[in-house]
Amino acid sequence: MADTVIAGTAREAGATLVTADDHFGRVPRLSVQFIEPGEK
């Protein structure tokens, strides 16, 4: 549930979500930058 709120809020704000969770890549019209766990 929280992931849905995070994704929707980021998308509506025009933000880029930076995450290691690959499931955010399936959200339509959401800009996502993926990082490897432990990467800075």
Say what the pLDDT of residue 15 is.
Answer: 92
Question: At a CB cut-off of 8 Å and minimum separation 6, what does 33 contact?
Answer: 16, 17, 18, 19
Is pLDDT at 40 greater than 70 in this prediction? no
Inter-residue contact 24 to 18 (CB < 8 Å):
no
Task: Give the Cα separation of 1 and 33 in Å (integer).
Answer: 21
Is pLDDT at 1 greater than 80 in this prediction? no
pTM: 0.64
Closest CA to 18 of 29, 2, 4, 7: 7
13-37 pLDDT, tens digit per residue, is 999 988 888 888 888 889 999 888 8
